[in-house]
Each structure stands twice: as structure tokens, then as C-alpha cells.
Structure 1
Amino acid sequence: MKYSLFILFMFTFMVSQLYEFHYINEAKNWTEAQQYCREKHTDLVTVTNMKDMKRLINISAGYQSEAWIGLYYQTDGTRKWHWSQSEVKFNESETNWNTNEPNDATGVQNCGIIWKNLKWGDLSCNDHRYFLCYDDELILIKENKTWEDALYYCRDHHHDLVTITNMEDQISVQQEAQFASTDHVWMGLHYAWSLDLWFWVSDEVVRYKNWASNEPMDDCDMSGAMETGGKHKWRKKRDSEKFNFICSK
């Protein structure tokens, strides 16, 4: 996957296949930052693994201090850290807190920030800081179509059927897939019987794989679909079957 770095007016953003990170150098409190991100982008940034955090450092050249991320400490009686992106569960094993953080130093530090060294901290949600937004570059289409019809739909209305090249992509796609109305969703993965190989319609080489056990079985008129539940494994399905599907924008 290739990344490009751009500077555009008041913010910097990095392009990936499935989402973009945006650094906003306007000082806002956490709630205002969340509202801004939801109105102009998708949400405040969710950081689910170290690769996400390493990517964030590439867009941090414009700030020297902490910036808001989509992390908050719920104070309605069930005190627990949550992500602003509600469908993503906070995982204690995937945190990167700075030493002695979170410390709730003033008793009201209920919102999360990230420093340029990728460490996290907590501050009062009323403090004014720069912040990080992201744009989701995926869209789940809740229409049941054959693989070929799904491919043409994505190319006519968006960009293409989704390509998955690494674990980060897999996580992003399965977060969308869980909201589908079918038990599988089509991806841009197709089997070329005459060449005896699986390929992505985006021309990406199939390196990362998440096939279920005993898959794939090479046969003609087959394409790849992801399970919408469980471990979100890939399954080979007849092109004529009809599922929801995920497009890249």
C-alpha cells in the first residue's frame, strides 16, 4: 500500500486505500473536536494498533504538543474508556499510555490525547487542543447483488470493490461488514480459472490472506466473500450468489 503526504490549507492528511488521517490545527475542546470531525470527516481518530499510531506520526509535523484522539472516559456510572467510533471496542491490550498515564490528575481528565512520540495521555475534555480526524474510505452497500453486478455498481458509483492487502485493511473492512444484512459480503477478490490464480480487481497481488480452513477450492466462476460475523474469514462463493458488498471510495 502506498501513502502520500499532502499539506492542504489548515490541515495535513495522509492517504491510504481505506481511510485518511487529518491533522486539524484549530484549538477546540474534545466535544467541539468530535463535532467538527463528524461534520466534515467521519470521526475523531480511532487507534486500534501500533501500525495506526506509526502512521499518525507521519502527519504530525505541524504540531509540537498533544492532539485529541477519539478516546473518552465515560462518566455516567460505568467508568470505562471508549472510542468515539462506537462500533469499535476499546481493547486494554492495545493501548499505548505514557508512563503514569492515565492519571486523572485534576479529577476531570476524561478525554484522550496523543503526543508526537505516539504515547497517550488524558486531559480535561474542556481543554483546547489541536486534533486528529479520519475519513472512512469504505462504504457498505446493503443491496443483494451477484459479484459481477456488485463490481459494476462500485465502479459506477464509487471506486471499486474493496481490496484487502494487510491486517489493517482486514480490520477496517470487517468493521463495516458486521453491519451487513447478509451472512457474507463481496470483496474485489476473483478467481481466474484459465490462469489458476486468485487476484484483486485493483491489480494488487494477493499476499495477505484470511481464508477459512479448507479454502480456497479453485473452480471457475468463483469470487471471494468475507463472513460478516465470527472471525470474518474469507470464503469462496459462486459469482451468481447475491450478497451485500463493500466498495472503496
Structure 2
Amino acid sequence: MDGKAVRRLVIVGLCILHSCCYQVTIIVREAKTWTEAQSYCRENHNDLLTINNVEESTMLGDSLRNSDKEFWLGLYGNFYNFVWSMVQEGFDEEGQAEYSNWQRSQPNLDKGTINCVNIATTGEWSDTDCWLELPFVCYNDSSANRYLFVDQTMNWTNAQTHCRKHHTDLASVRNESENNEIGSIIQSYSWIGYHRVSWMWSDGQARHVHSFNNWGTAQPARVRGYCATTKNGKWTERPCSDKYFFICNETMKKHVRIKVVLTKSDSSKNLEEIQDAILRQFNEIMKKNQISEQVRLKWIEQPDGTIYQKTEEQEWTEKQDFDCVPPALP
């Protein structure tokens, strides 16, 4: 097949792909608990609604601006969702990421969107407000002295930035020996890399320290047993056992068939034999345009089992099937 014909085919085939997949919100005006709403959305749609950015939040606020009701979102409090700042493949052996050395009655801070962990000179841990300014411990994987005490007070986020800029990250603690080592070099309560991302989305999308939030004033005040509603675009924590209307999301799939006319310049080539090569070129162009994860391509077979059909004008035609599929959930 002529090279230009392949490129022309690709251009024609891609021109409508960008609009073939889209998300829709389904507003359900039936009061349910958060768990009941989650089950309904998963059975009938995708899941409870996730909001990732200002644009999505604004669109939802506009659609609900005439409503005085609160609606469940997919956001729920997870009191025990503690994670380490440093995520490095091969760093933790099996079970080491779960090591902890909490002080008695800790953790106990049941508020906020994130909470951060400090270590005492005794080696015991406690959770506290991340905006408190404390000295901190960095980890450096290229130094003989892996743990470095920084006797300069910063909030947890700024301490994380400092460690990542000058070393590797805030310190992770994998076992009792490392915990004792850190306790021996600090002079007072100090930040380590452990922190709790207190709120998670029902569909499993990851949240972190810098994730989008749109909480109302003084929200959230509690975490354990609480889920999030929205009203006028703002989020409020409510007991998950309360009943509210709710919002589901769903990925709409648009199945597109495109008929492309090809001019065959080399009569010795069999188009059926090079169809995989053509498909690879389609996929390569989509990859360059960052849409390969949203679109699935396949050839459509004719009733007689062939893909290409000769027209009266002695041109070869083929049909390309574009199938949009939603990304898999984590």
C-alpha cells in the first residue's frame, strides 16, 4: 500500500476519536445512606461520583445551583489510611511498610483532610496537625548516614519538600532497629514521612497531600464514620448512616464505524496481508496523541469473512471499528 494512503487513512480515522468517550453524572433523588447509595451506583452505573479538579466541581455546582438539597459524593473518611511519603520500588521488604510504633492511645486525631506523624526521642509515634512546625528527619539513599536530623522547624509539607530537594525524602521506618536509630539522633518531637490521607474516593482513585479539595468552612471536622455530601459545590462531612440524595457517575461508550476509501497503487500487494501493519500505524498515531488508553481499534469483517471490498471504481474500501472503553479501576 502507498505510504501516503496509510497516512491519509490514519488522519481520517482519528479525526473524531477525541469525542468518543465521555463521563456523565446521574442524580438520584432517592434518600439512602452512603453505603446504600454506593451499592446502587455500582449495580446500576459505575460508582458514586468522584471530583478531581476545579472544572469538574464547577460543572457539578452549576447543575445543582437551583437545588437546596445535599447529595452524597463518593468521598468517605478512612481513619487508618496511613501511608509513607517515600514510595520507592524495592525499598520495603514484605511486611515492612506496615511497621509502626504508636504511643499508647495513638493515633487519635479524628479531623482534617490529612494528619501527619511525629516521632519522640523515645521512638514512639503520635499524629498531629500537619501545619504544626517541627524539626524533621530526612532519608538519603546515597549517604552512609541514611537518616539526617534537620534542626529547623517547618510544617510537614515544607519538610517533605526540603527532604526531596536536598536528599531523598522524609524518613521511612521499616523496623525497630531503624526506629531506634532515628530516636537516637533527634532532639525533640520531629516529623517522619508517615501521614494519613483521611479521605478517599469510592472508585479507588488515589488521593494524596496535594489532591483537589472543596470543603466548606471549618470542614471536615471529623473523619471516622463520616462521608461527604455536596451542596452548591461545597463539601460537608456527614455521618455515613444519614440519608441523602446522591450522585452516580457513568462512562458513556460511543461505538464509531468509519468507512475509508483507499487507492491501491501496487497491485501486487494483498491488503488483507498487511492489515496488522495498518492497525499498528493507527495505534502509534493514537499513542503520540495520548489517546491510546481510551480507544480500542479492530477491523470489521464482512459477511464473507473479508475486510476489504472492491468498489465499481476499482478502489479498495475498508471499515475501521473504534470502540471506546472506560479505564479499568484500580
- What is the TM-score with the length of structure 1 in the denominator? 0.49
Which protein, 1 or 2, shows the higher relative CO under an 8 Å CA cutoff with sep ≥ 6? 2
Larger Cα-atom Rg: 2
